């Protein structure tokens, strides 16, 4: 992605690299200078620096519902 991706709480992010459990999709729980994510596959939570998350994103599925 050329532009900085717009991330919102509730969005599902598809990452370039999968979680150790094999799942590539993560749900956004909290956004600050770090972003808290929960793995869609195993429900484990992780906190990653925002700049790193932005580089890891392959695709964003916005939260509509
Ligand atoms: Zn996982």
pLDDT above 60: residue 1: no
Cα–Cα separations (whole angstroms), residue 28 to 33, 35, 51, 52: 13, 7, 14, 14
Ligand 1 midpoint to CA 1 (Å): 24
In order of 52, 53, 54, 58, 61, the CA distances from 2 in angstroms are 15, 14, 11, 12, 17
Q: How far, in Å, from the CA of 23 to the mean position of ligand 1?
A: 5
Q: What is the pLDDT of residues 9-56, one digit of tens each?
A: 999 999 999 999 999 999 999 999 999 999 999 999 999 999 999 999
- Give residue limits of the domains in the chain: 12-61
Around ion ligand 1, residues with a beta carbon closer than 5 Å are 19, 21, 23, 39, 41-42
pTM: 0.89
């Amino acid at each position: 992605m050329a532009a900085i991706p717009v991330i919102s709480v509730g969005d599902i992010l598809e990452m370039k690299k999968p979680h150790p459990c094999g799942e590539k999709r993560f749900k956004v729980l909290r956004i600050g200078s770090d972003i808290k994510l929960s793995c869609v596959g195993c429900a484990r939570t992780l906190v990653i620096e925002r700049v790193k998350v932005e580089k890891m994103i392959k695709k964003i599925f916005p939260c509509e519902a």
